[in-house]
Amino acid sequence: MIIHSLFEQVDFRGKTVTAFATSGSTPLKDTLATMTNLVKNAGGTLVED
């Protein structure tokens, strides 16, 4: 997935990420869990509210 490549290549340390997603096949709750892990592993913080 393209979003995985983004978080592998960009340094998000000290950054706050606000997720925006649409869903055609994957439940959004699964997307949020994936985004949380990607942002955390890239050193950023995900806004969850």
Amino acid in position 36: T
pLDDT score of 37: 94
The number of folded domains in the chain is: 1
pLDDT in tens, 1-49: 788 899 999 999 999 999 887 777 777 778 888 889 999 999 999 997 7
Amino acid in position 47: V
Model pTM score: 0.76
| Three-state SS sequence of 10-49 | CCCCCCEEECCCCCCCCCHHHHHHHHHHHHHHCCCEEECC
Could you tell me the residue range of the domain that residue 26 belongs to? 2-47
pLDDT score of 25: 77
